[in-house]
Amino acid sequence: MAFDASNGYVAGRDLQDLSDNTLPIFNVEPVQLQFSIASDFVAAQVANNVLVLALANGRILRIDLDNPADIDDIDLPKRAAEVGVIRRMFLDPTASHLIICTALGENYYLHTQSRQPRPLSRLRGVAIESIAWNPSLPTASTREILIGASDGNIYEGYIETSTEFYRKEDKYLKTLQKLSDGPITGLWVDLVPGKPDVRRVIITTQSRVLHLIGKIGKVTHEGGASIFTKLFETEQPMVHEISRVSTSAASSLVVSPDPPDLNSFESVTPDRVFAWLSSQGVYYGRLLTSPATPDLGTKLFGEAKLLPRSQLPLAEGTNGRRKATQDPVDSIALTQWHILHLIGNRVVAVNRLDDRVIFDQVVLDPGQQALGLFADQQKNTFWLFTAQEIFEIVITDEDRDVWKVMLATEHFDAALKYARNPAQKDAVATASGDYLVAKGAYIEAAGVYGKSSKPFEQVALTFVDNDQQDALRKYLLTKTTTYKRSSIMQRIMIASWLVEIFMSKLNSLDDTIITKAELSETLNTSQTKDQLDTIRIEFHEFVKKHKSDLDRKTAYDIISSHGREEELLYFASAVNDYNYVLAYWMQRERWKEVLDVLKKQTEPEIFYRYSSGLITHVATELVDILTRHPDLKARNLIPALLTYDRNFQGPLAKNQAIRYLLHVINQLNSSDAAVHNTLISIYASHPSRDESALLAYLESQGDEPRYDADFALRLCIQHSRVQSCVYIYSTMGLYLQAVELALAHSEIDLASIIADRPVSDPPLRKKLWLAVAKKVISQSNGIKTAIEFLKRCDLLKIEDLIPFFPDFVVIDDFKEEICTALEDYSRNIDALKKEMDESSQTATNIKMDIAALDYRYAIVEPGEKCYVCNLPLLSRQFFVFPCQHAFHSDCLGRRVMEQSGVGKSKRIREMQMQVSRGMVTGAKRDAAIAELDALVASACILCSDFAIKRIDEPFVVASDNAGEWAL
């Protein structure tokens, strides 16, 4: 193996060189006090960045470390001479509750929001040695807490803040148990995850550690009754005991602080760590939480171990040499990974993972008295207090060497968890892989090697030499994820090798199944089939993930050489090479498989390419697929459709080419003339003589057909589709040719229908019917039958038909028709005569009306005014109209000129000038006056067309007095 924990080397590299921090982990720094003290410190506590100091004169200083200038100076209710010097203080982890104990047995309670300590009457005379705070903090009260006394008694208490004089702070005090082996030096209570009614209690004395776990009584927020009585009465504790106890040695119980961040050890396992200081050393282990049964204590003590005093370094004597005996440990504290010891004037830090001493420094001066080591559980800070000074033990990057310890103890997963930089992780992976290979765990080693920098060829040869193809496959799969995208050649080569390995493995499993041989004593044929499915799924996942790293031709060659048809097609589908898949199945005439692949395609080119081959074998299924793709260009599928039609022998109703073309025309509204022409071509060339389908299509095109009429006409003539030709002629307006073609094929009824179509052109219609009549008469066996047929046209008369009758026909055959025609002529003559008489009478009436015009008159009343100027009408020449409107002639002339056109106005002025200036005389003057009167007085300007033209003029104009119109 390349890993040797004894010399600290991994794969030829020094572990120390891989560290990313050269600063020492621990450093003890004195804290500069911002205040002056009148006496020495006698007790101290720290929690949640709050420092509480007790002075020998009975005062208590409460300091917020976030704001050191904020200092609360608190006095006990009685002087130190009356209650004794403060002996101990207990501060909960949230710094909310403080219990103060004096040398004369007086105990006080101080809440964080109070400056007045209140005496605890029920605890008077109890020498408190330890307290287990309620794990449900923070709360307004302490809730249920455990109290250990110097006489071995364990109490349960409940303390709350009270402002009422007559009300006590300690609601109750219940004795739970009394131990006979001296003071209770340590207490701890915690919750069990998932079980709110279960508690675990750890108790320490100078010689024993007791572990209890079980259900408690009902918890109430009022604190009315004990909850731990049930636990202590029903459960028997598990005990760890030591011999040769020194009563003078210090004893205490400490628990590791809260994890500072997610990179801590507690993120890997949630268990805290406990440490019990005894005369023999420090006994420590994890505070396991499962299983939550009485056996948990046995498991906890089974994993715990002792760090003996003798393993700690000896102090130097006054002569510079090491002392012969070890000084006792005065106090301990737990960090995340180390145990801090206060030994005399030294602070010694030991890594609890491997018991190595990593820090040993003299901190105190000779004769300086220390109060002990203290830890802030929530803030992860550590303190050393003396009678006059405060020291902070600063921790820098505590877990930086954890990975090396885990590596040395072969905890590779944990080592990898705490490895920070790539070099450290690589060292862990390499060592882990070597270790697994040495144990024969090649599969596990492959995954680890894949993330290491160990030479590729060395790892690959290791697996090849040991015939570990599965491990090699896993290694290569892992290795592909480590190469960058720019490492194209490496990724292609590894991916190609993996394809070869997968194919070999699949063939091997297939051979095993076929021969029904067992791979081993524990792997039967059924298991082989399961493994085959697993490997196939793994290959599919590999192709999905690394298809961009595979060269298609190389992959095709490798898979084909192994005869793996399913894998070959899966790879082609994965890389979207559907042309390969379709060509593969078509070469083997596996039409169902071809259609299954084609159903999943959306690329039009694929349909164009393979339709010709498919439509001759699976036309119906292919057309079903094509109709689901409206984006296809039907023009590009015409060669395939025509190829299919040439080989089709069935009726038109089952022709799939026609079905697809009708779908494109009717459903997709195709306007491509090539598509329409193709449909006509297939209809016209079909051997059936039934033209109904073709005619139905032609009629559906309406007045603006999308097919090429000349092309359609040629096809229909070529294949003798008479009805279709006639219809096309008619749509082109060539009625004469349509009728002639129909008559040429003796289609009399069809010719008659066409002859009736030019309704707006009676001469043409008559010409067409004459052609039909000629054909009918020539083919009719009897003149009477022909005449009855031709009655369908209202334009033809017997005289139009006589020229077509044969010379030998006798008049008796159509005597009745001649008589009918003569009767029609007689009726027409009578009607014309009547119209002439009526016209003559109308002319006479008109003459009489004209003569009466000369005698018309109108009565003008005296004082009647002109409707234009409002002056008396009789003052000068005027005109009176039948509507009784009267106007002066000049006023009427002006208005007419204003509203008339340019030409008429000009003519009126010319006539007025000729008459007024005497430019004409005699008859010409009379004629000019008559023309002028006709121009001016042709109609009344108030109730004729003149009035209609003035509709856009306002009723009130600017010259009018607007006030007259006001309401």
pLDDT digits (tens, 9 = 90+) for 724-758: 787 777 777 777 777 777 676 666 666 766 666 66
Tokens of 924: 């010409």
Tokens of 370: 């220390």
Q: Under 8 Å CB-to-CB from 19, ≥6 apart: which residues?
A: 400, 401
SS3 track for 743-774: HHCCCHHHHHHHHCCCCCCHHHHHHHHHHHHH
Query: 804-848: per-residue pLDDT in tens?
Result: 555 555 555 556 666 665 666 677 787 888 888 888 888 888 888
pLDDT at residue 771 tops 80: no
Per-residue model confidence (pLDDT) at position 688:
81
* H-assigned helices in 198-356: 229-234, 296-303
Distance separating alpha carbons of residues 664 and 676, to the nearest angstrom: 10
Q: Under 8 Å CB-to-CB from 426, ≥6 apart: which residues?
A: 451, 452, 453
pLDDT at residue 12 tops 60: no
Looking at per-residue confidence, does 582 or 966 come out higher? 582
Q: Under 8 Å CB-to-CB from 235, ≥6 apart: which residues?
A: 212, 213, 214, 294
Helices then strands, each counted (H, E), the chain: 33, 33
Query: 456-512: per-residue pLDDT in tens?
Result: 888 888 888 888 888 888 878 878 877 788 888 888 888 888 888 888 888 888 777
Q: Are 370 and 341 in contact (CB under 8 A)?
A: no
Per-residue model confidence (pLDDT) at position 210:
96
Tokens of 813: 């055959």
pLDDT at residue 519 tops 60: no
Query: 314-344: per-residue pLDDT in tens?
Result: 877 666 677 767 788 999 999 989 999 999 8
Mean pLDDT of 571-598: 79
Looking at per-residue confidence, does 863 or 216 come out higher? 216
Distance separating alpha carbons of residues 101 and 320, to the nearest angstrom: 41
Per-residue model confidence (pLDDT) at position 156:
94
Q: Counting Cβ atoms within 10 Å, is residue 361 exposed (0-12), middle (13-18) or buried (19+)?
A: middle
Q: Are 286 and 303 in contact (CB under 8 A)?
A: yes
DSSP code at position 865: B
Tokens of 865: 């005014």
Per-residue model confidence (pLDDT) at position 262:
46
Q: Under 8 Å CB-to-CB from 387, ≥6 apart: which residues?
A: 40, 41, 42, 368, 369, 371
Mean pLDDT of 613-634: 86
Query: 410-431: per-residue pLDDT in tens?
Result: 677 777 777 777 777 777 777 7
Distance separating alpha carbons of residues 255 and 334, to the nearest angstrom: 6
Per-residue model confidence (pLDDT) at position 283:
96
Tokens of 7: 């010399």
Tokens of 55: 């002075």
Per-residue model confidence (pLDDT) at position 818:
63
Find out whether the peptide bond into 291 is cis, omega within 30 degrees of 0: yes
pLDDT at residue 11 tops 60: no
Measured CA angle at 395 (ends 391, 397), to 5 deg: 170
DSSP string, 463-489: HHHTT-HHHHHHHHHHHHTTS-TT-HH
Helix, strand or coil, per DSSP, at residue 453: coil
Looking at per-residue confidence, does 521 or 410 come out higher? 410
Find out whether the peptide bond into 237 is cis, omega within 30 degrees of 0: no
Find out whether the peptide bond into 260 is cis, omega within 30 degrees of 0: no
Residue where the block lists tokens 């961009």: 548
Give the residue from 282, 422, 294, 258 showing the smallest Cα distance to 341.
282
Task: Provide the angle, in degrees to the nearest 10, between the axes of the packed helices 735-744 and 748-755.
Answer: 170
Q: Which segment of 35-49, 226-240, 637-651, 718-732 scores lowest on mean pLDDT?
A: 718-732
Return mean pLDDT, the chain: 81
Task: Provide the angle, in degrees to the nearest 10, between the axes of the packed helices 488-515 and 525-546.
Answer: 160
- List Cα–Cα distances, 642 to 192, 614, 664, 674, in angstroms: 82, 13, 16, 12
Which phi and psi angles does 190 have, rounded to 5°? -145, 165
Distance separating alpha carbons of residues 90 and 97, to the nearest angstrom: 8
List for the chain the helix, strand, coil content (%; round to 5): 45, 20, 35
Query: 203-243: per-residue pLDDT in tens?
Result: 999 999 999 999 998 887 666 688 999 999 999 999 999 88
Distance separating alpha carbons of residues 327 and 87, to the nearest angstrom: 24
Distance separating alpha carbons of residues 610 and 872, to the nearest angstrom: 103
Q: Are 582 and 610 in contact (CB under 8 A)?
A: yes
Residue where the block lists tokens 């885990």: 406
Per-residue model confidence (pLDDT) at position 93:
93
Nearest-Å Rg of the Cα atoms of the chain is 60
Query: 156-207: per-residue pLDDT in tens?
Result: 999 987 765 445 677 889 999 999 888 999 999 999 888 989 999 999 999 9
Query: 366-417: per-residue pLDDT in tens?
Result: 888 899 999 999 999 999 999 989 999 998 888 887 878 777 776 777 777 7
Distance separating alpha carbons of residues 13 and 15, to the nearest angstrom: 6
- List Cα–Cα distances, 288 to 270, 271, 299, 414, 803, in angstroms: 9, 5, 8, 18, 128
Give the residue from 774, 788, 781, 700 showing the smallest Cα distance to 744.
774
Per-residue model confidence (pLDDT) at position 22:
61
Which phi and psi angles does 776 have, rounded to 5°? -65, -45
DSSP string, 405-446: HHHHTT-HHHHHHH--SHHHHHHHHHHHHHHHHHHT-HHHHH
Tokens of 519: 């791979």
Distance separating alpha carbons of residues 646 and 682, to the nearest angstrom: 9
Task: Provide the angle, in degrees to the nearest 10, between the axes of the packed helices 692-700 and 722-731.
Answer: 10
Q: Are 415 and 427 in contact (CB under 8 A)?
A: no
Helix, strand or coil, per DSSP, at residue 250: coil
Confidence at 139, pLDDT banded by 50, 70, 90: confident
Q: What percent of the chain has pLDDT over 90?
A: 22
Residue 545 identity = K
Confidence at 4, pLDDT banded by 50, 70, 90: very low
Give whichever of 191-200, 261-270, 682-691 has the largest mean pLDDT: 191-200
Helix, strand or coil, per DSSP, at residue 261: coil
Tokens of 443: 């599969």
Residue 70: CB atoms within 10 Å = 10
Q: Identify the bridge partners of residue 159 per DSSP, sorted by sequence position.
A: 170
Give whichever of 109-113, 786-790, 929-933 has the largest mean pLDDT: 109-113
Per-residue model confidence (pLDDT) at position 561:
87
Per-residue model confidence (pLDDT) at position 265:
42
Q: Identify the bridge partners of residue 156 per DSSP, sorted by sequence position.
A: 146, 174
Q: Are 201 and 190 in contact (CB under 8 A)?
A: no
Q: Are 213 and 293 in contact (CB under 8 A)?
A: yes
DSSP string, 503-549: HHHHHHHHHHHHHT--SBTTB-HHHHHHHHHHHHHHHHHHHHHHGGG
